Amino acid sequence: MHISDEQSAQQINKPNKAMIWVLSACSFLVLGSYAIARPSLKALLVDHYGKDAVPYAWILVAIGVTLTVAVYSRATARMELKQLYQRAVLWICAVLILGLVLYHSGLTWAVFLLFVWKDVYIVVLIEMFWTFANSVFQLKTAKWIYGVFLSVGTLGGMAANFSVGGLAEQLGTGHAPWLVLPMLLGTAALISFMPNMAPESQGSGETPVDFASGFRLVMRTKYLLCLLGIIALIQLALNLVDYQLTSMIEANYASSEDKTAAFGTVYGYIDAAALCMQLGGGLIISVIGVGGVLVGVPVVLLICLSAFAIIPTVGLISFAFVAGKSMDYSVYRTAKEALYLPLNHRERAQGKAVIDMMIYRVAKASAAALLIALGALSSSPELLVGISVLAVLGWLWLTAKILPLYTRRIESQDTSRPTR
C-alpha cells in the first residue's frame, strides 16, 4: 500500500514498537552477518596468500570504501531511503555471489574481492541503519533506544563470532559466507515495514560539507589537530596489533577452518567485553571521568603490548587486541565523543566531518603502507611491536595536550551561558 508524504511524516514523528523491533532485528542480523563474513574471509586470504597480503588488501579496502561512499552520497540525494537500502542489499548480495562463484571456480584472487566486499558493505549498511534511526527517533527516545540497538547488534556479533568456527568446520571456510545472503535479504524484507523517507536533497536545507575548508580549519585549530592526531594514532596502533595477531594466527593454525575459529573467537571476546563496558560505561566515566578514560585506555594497551614484547604468545597479542578494540568500541568512544562537545558550530559542521569521514579511511591505508615498507626492509616482529608502542606513546602525549584545551573550552562555555 502506498503511503503519502503526510502519512509518512506522521509515522516518523510517532515511532511505534514495530519500528523498534524492525531496527533491533536489522542490527542483530547486519552485525551477525559481518561476524560470519569477517573471520572466514580473512582466514581465506591468509590461507592462500599469507599475512603479507593483508596490507595490500587494506589499501584496496580504503579505495573501495572511498569510491562506494562517493556513489552512496549521490544516491541518497536522489532516492528514497527504504528503496535505496533494498537496492543496496541486492547489489551487496550480487557481489558476494560473484566473488564466491569465482573463488569456487578456482580463481583464488577472488578472495581479495571478497575481503574488500566485507568491509565495504558493513560501512554502507551501518550508515543507512543510523540514518533510519536518526530519522525516526527524537533525542528523548534516542538516548535510551540507541543503547538497545548497540547491545542487540553486539549480541548478534557475539552469537555469530562464537559459532563461525563450528560452521566453517561443517560447511568449509569457503562456504560459510553463503550464510550471509539470507541474513542480509532478511533485513531488506524487514526494512519494508519502515516509513518512506524523502531523499536528503529534499527539504534538508543543509549545505554540503566543504572538505577543503574543513581540512584547512582542522590544520589551523590546535584542538582539532590534536583530536585528528589522537584518532590517527589509535587506528595506527590497533591496525598494527591486528596485523601482529594475524601473523601469530597464521603461524599457529594450519587449516583455514582453524584460522576462522581463532579469528571468530577473538572477535567474539571483543564483542563480549565491549557489551559489558557499554552497559557499565556510564558508571565507569562517572567514577574516573572523561580524562581518566582518555588516559587509561592507552595505558592499558601499552601494558598489554609491553607484556607481549617480553612474552610473544598468541594469547597475549589476542588479549591486547581484545582490550584495545573493545575499549575503543565502548567507553573510549563515549569519552572521545565528549571531546566534540565544546566545538563551535563551524568546527562541528566542518572539522568533525573531515575527521570522522577522512581519518578512519586514511589511517588503515597508512598502516598498510607502513607495513609494506617495513616488509620490504625485512623488518622483525620486534620492530612492529616497537612502532605500536611508539604510536601509543604518541597517543598519550596528544591526550595530555588536548585535555587542558578541553577543560578550558568547557569552562568557557559554562561562563558564557546566562545565569538565572
pLDDT digits (tens, 9 = 90+) for 281-326: 778 888 888 899 999 999 999 999 999 999 999 999 999 999 999 9
Q: What average pLDDT does the chain have?
A: 85
If asked whether residues 72 and 173 sit together in one domain, one would say yes
Please give the Cα distance from 70 to 204 (Å, whole number): 19
Place of cell 534511526: 133
Rounded to an integer, the average pLDDT of 104-126 is 94
**Range from 40-49, 197-206, 340-349, 407-416 that averages highest in pLDDT:** 40-49
- Domain identity same for 280 and 317: yes
Distance between CA 139 and CA 145 in Å, rounded?
10
Does 253 lie in the same domain as 371? yes
Do both 247 and 150 map to the same domain? no
Claim to verify: residue 34 and residue 182 sit in the same structural domain:
yes
Instruction: Tell me, yes or no, whether 204 lies in a domain.
Output: no
Amino acid identity of residue 218, one-letter, is: V
**pTM of the complete model:** 0.82
Confidence of residue 41 (pLDDT cuts 50, 70, 90): very high
Residues 95-125 as b/e (b if ≥16 CB within 10 A, e otherwise) read: bbeebbebbeeeeeebbbbbbbbbbbbbbbb
Q: Return the higher-pLDDT residue of 8 and 223.
A: 223
Last residue of a domain, one of 134, 166, 198: 198
Q: Do 42 and 143 fall within a single domain?
A: yes
**Does some domain include residue 2?**
no
Q: Are residues 152 and 246 in the same domain?
A: no
Lowest mean pLDDT segment, chosen from 36-45, 64-73, 228-237: 64-73
Mean pLDDT calculated for residue range 383-406: 93
Cα 74 to Cα 80, 101, 283: the distances in Å are: 12, 30, 41
Point out the domain boundary residue: 134, 169, 198.
198
Q: How many residues in the chain?
A: 420
Task: Give percent above pLDDT 90 in the chain.
Answer: 50
Q: Which CATH number do you get for residue 89?
A: 1.20.1250.20
* Residue scoring higher pLDDT (361 or 369): 369
C-alpha grid cell, residue 276: 559489558
Examine the domain organization and report whether 226 and 152 are in the same domain. Answer: no
Three-class secondary structure of residue 3 per DSSP:
coil
d(CA 127, CA 150) in angstroms, rounded, equals: 14
Whether residue 352 contacts residue 213, with contact meaning beta carbons closer than 8 Å, is answered with no
Per-residue model confidence as pLDDT tens digits over 178-221: 999 999 999 999 998 887 766 655 544 454 555 667 778 888 88
Burial code of 177-189, b = ≥16 C-beta within 10 A, e = fewer? bebbbebbbbbbe
Q: How far apart are CA 346 and CA 189, in angstroms?
A: 39
Q: Which residue has the higher pLDDT, 118 or 357?
A: 118
pLDDT at 420 over 50: no
> Which helix (H) or strand (E) is 113 found in, with range?
helix 110-136
* Rounded CA separation 110/104 (Å): 9
Res 349: pLDDT: 62
More reliable by pLDDT, 357 or 51: 51
Do 157 and 247 share a domain, yes or no? no
In terms of DSSP H, where are the helices of 178-312?
180-191, 211-220, 222-252, 256-310
Q: Does residue 274 lie within any of the structural domains?
A: yes
Which range of residues forms the domain containing residue 77? 17-198
Domain count of the fold of the chain: 2
| pLDDT computed for residue 17 by the predictor | 80
- Please state, for a pLDDT cut of 70, what percent of the chain lies above it: 86
Decide if 10 is inside a domain: no
